[in-house]
Amino acid sequence: MIEEGLKNELAKQGVVLTTLQELYNWGRGNSVWPLSFGLACCAIEMMAASMAKWDIARFGSEVFRPSPRQADLMIVAGTVTKKMAPQVVRLYNQMPEPKYVIAMGACAISGGPFKQGYNVLKGIDRLLPVDIHIPGCPPRPEALLHALITLQKKIEIEALTGPNRPRHLDADAPSEFPVPQFGEHDIVPAMNPLLWKPTQVVR
Amino acid sequence: MESLEQIKIRLEAAVPGAKLEILPNESPSGQHSLLLDNAHAVALARFLRDDAQLRFDYCSNMTGVDWPDTEITSKVKVKKVIDGVEKEVDEVTKTARPGFLEGVYHLYSMAMKHGPLILRLRTGNRKDQVQLPSFTPVWRSCEFQEREVYDLFGVVFDGHPDLRRILMWDEFRDHPMRKDYSEPDDYEYEPTPHDDVLEKSKRHQAAKGTL
Amino acid sequence: MSVATESPAPRNYEVVPKTSPEGSELDGELLEVAMGPQHPSTHGVFRMDVVLDGETVVKLKPVFGYLHRNHEKIAENTSYLGSMPYTDRLDYFCSLTNNWAYALAVEKLAGLQVPERAEFIRVITAELTRLQNHTSVCGFLLQDMGALGTPLMYAFREREKILDLFESLTGARMMCNYMRFGGCRCDLPPGWLDRVRKIVGDFPQFLDSYEALLNTNEILLARTQGVGRLPRELAISAGVTGPMLRACGVDYDIRKVDHYGIYDRFEFRIPLGEQGDVYDRYMIRLLEIRESLKILQQALKEVPGGPIIDPKAKLRSFRPKVGEAYGRIEGPKGELGFYLISDGSPNPYRYRVRPPSLINLTILEDMCLGQSVADAVVTLGSVDIVLGEVDR
């Protein structure tokens, strides 16, 4: 391993040293293609982020793919209703690894203002593993850009080997999650116990 | 536009046997409504649509209202002799009103540019007599709105061409807009100051013994 | 000539005989396609179950509910004021007109008067909302026709300018939550009217260039003229409202019919179409932008001073008398109505939104039958739906 100081010194002289892991993560981090998938109000802010004023293309994510097969990132932009939840999980399952999820807005995080609704899923993290949460109702486009940069930072430090390697490099880790079914009163199951456990209140 | 009384008289003349009732509205909006009987409702609606003076060609809004079984308390001042002195005493009478479901229609006329005329239909009860005649053959705009009322309130519209659930999934069994509906309990932990959600969460945790 | 008499070279492959599209071997093969809820061109989580004969639509059933957020049920468990922020999220392009419609219904229910200054502010914000909605809709419609990027990007550029105005007035770009029963929440920030005047003054220039770019475009003309035609009588019976109705030639604008607010003080025309096709709907929206600009210019001339809210209006512990009211306005999508029943408690007993987007979709199948599936997408784009309002 080269020390950080020597590496920086060499970089100033025009010699760039890198590792395969850094190069691979740098390339991946700067070309995150989101699924063009809007659910509700937040999707409009997501579109605004992709337009001229905020220009998400500066961060390599302007290529919104209509097909999950070509996307790296699912931005859950809006309220996930129970009627929509199976479709959201199915779309996630169809995305190839490595894949990431941003829960955009209060509704995607927890149900938000519509939490008391009978048809509203109280947070997409009950069914899918979420990497980044953005609060706001709706979050401003800057907040989405911030979430994207945070995701890039997360990608940059992913180890390729070892016990801490990410899910997509671990053959035993699940890459698909069970799709809930429509029940008579609710979706079944209403949450994935492997992903989400009710917080224990400690007093 | 003619007054509601005039419309009522003309409707009674046009559709013999029809029972109509004006339901007053005490709020400042002054939008009184007309209660139709279910047997003649479609004929009355057709008359309202086709009559040259009324021409209510546009049914703007159609919705349902749930009125559960309730007790109506009414106070009447009664003179009573108490201890030899005549006094005015409030006598409270309680009458049980059986519940029903209501369909409300707001009609306007695009041709004459007047309105609204508010029609109401009532079901027999909330359990087994939940049929109402469908106005979809008269005004096409009722199609999705009546489906919505069927979905959320459980009113069955006779004569509707395509009565299916519209907002909830087909396997769903409840009618969530009814007042006695209780939603699925999935309020596990709520770090929220929101009173109702916090209450629901506490109830859930007490039941599961996690509090 | 020797070339002609030469026998052709022997083929190494067999030729598959050409079939005509009318051939009997293709008959009866119908294809069922579920377009949505995740589909790039269905404007959110809307789903159309389409049955196709080749490319032709023979059956089309819209499926709703993927964004059913129980707005009405939540509102019946909340105070009157508590529902105001939820109305923003109905039609999330036009939060201010939603606010107005709800405030209007409650004002009818409780008999509140709106001060003149607040009426002017309401008209200005509502017409700005109409401006940005119609501009965006035209951009989305063109995106459905394959103009990926440019028109929508131009539309959003102008929309951002108007959203900046909303932000400095209300504190939020999209979810304004600005109007209150009997007035508005806060007074105008200093210099706000001058900024509006500047944007309203500059808007015709943008509109001219937008129209010059698009209106004579051959693809646009070919994809819109005669597509998705809606007969007048059907439109009236189906309760279609807004620009869609006026594109069929029916002169019905609630701003003129009900004279709500102070619209009778302004001079403006109601643009009318003739054919009721996608082209007419597109043109009507562009013309309505010009009429909105006219209203704005008149309203901006003299905004009177004074209070912005009825002093009788109580925001907290607001309990209207027993009764009911239906209030409606001309929203950018059509007639947006709120129906409220009060039982004297702080929460409405019944709270109903009359969603123009949902009711305008009643005749989607009638407009799309017999057309190609690509035209069905354009027809849907011209209806101008927002799923937050369709499903509520």
The residues with which A34 forms a beta bridge, in sequence order, are: A73
Phi and psi for B23 in degrees, rounded to 5?
-100, 115
Could you read off the pLDDT of A109-148 as tens digits, one per residue? 888 888 888 889 888 988 999 999 999 888 999 999 999 9
Other CB atoms closer than 10 Å to residue B193's CB: what's the count? Answer: 7
Nearest to C270 by CA among C255, C259, C280, C258: C255
pLDDT in the model for residue B129 = 87
Residue A96: CB atoms within 10 A of its CB come to: 12
Q: Does A33 touch chain C (CB under 8 A)?
A: no
Structure ipTM: 0.85
Partner residues linked to B93 by β-bridges: B74
CA distance C146 to C155: 16
In this complex, how many residue pairs, one in chain B and one in chain C, have their CB atoms less than 8 Å apart? 107
Confidence of residue C205 (pLDDT cuts 50, 70, 90): very high
CA distance A68 to A177: 15
Using DSSP's 3-state secondary structure scheme, residue C47 falls into strand
Residue C34 has pLDDT above 60, yes or no: yes
**Per the CB < 8 Å rule, is B63 touching C359?**
no
By a Cβ cutoff of 8 Å, what residues of chain B touch chain A? 167-174, 176, 181, 183-184, 186-189, 191, 194, 196-197, 200, 205, 210-211
Pick B4-66+101-170's CATH classification: 3.30.460.80, 3.40.50.2300, 3.40.50.300, 1.10.357.10.
3.30.460.80
Predicted TM-score (pTM) of this structure: 0.89
Residue C1: pLDDT over 70 = no
Residue C82 distance to chain B (closest CA, Å): 12
Packing angle between helix A41-50 and helix A141-156, nearest 10 degrees?
70
So what's the pLDDT on residue B14?
A: 87
3 state DSSP class of B157 = strand
All residues at 6 or more sequence positions from B3 whose CB lies less than 8 Å from its CB, including other chains: none
**Residue pLDDT, tens place only, C135-161:** 999 888 888 888 877 888 888 989 999
Residues of chain C found within 8 Å of residue B26, distances taken between Cβ atoms: 321-323
Core vs surface per residue A47-56: b (16+ CB within 10 A) or e: bbbbbeebeb
Pick from B108, A48, A98: which is nearest to C258 by CA? B108
pLDDT for A65 beyond 90: no
Per residue of chain B (211 residues), give pLDDT as tens. 788 888 888 888 888 888 888 888 888 888 888 898 888 889 899 998 888 888 899 999 999 999 988 887 777 777 777 777 777 777 787 888 888 999 999 999 988 888 789 999 999 888 888 899 999 999 999 999 999 999 999 999 998 988 989 999 988 888 999 888 888 877 766 666 566 667 777 777 777 665 5
Chains near A with 3+ CB pairs less than 8 A apart are B, C
Indicate where chain B has its CATH 3.30.460.80 domain(s). 4-66+101-170
d(CA C220, CA C208): 17
- Minimal C-alpha gap between B196 and chain A (Å): 9
Using CA atoms, how far apart are residues A17 and B137, in angstroms rounded to an integer? 76
Question: What is the structure's pLDDT at B16?
Answer: 86
A120–C153: do the CB atoms touch at under 8 Å? Answer: no
Chains with ≥3 CB–CB distances under 8 Å to C: A, B
- What is the SS3 assignment for B34? strand
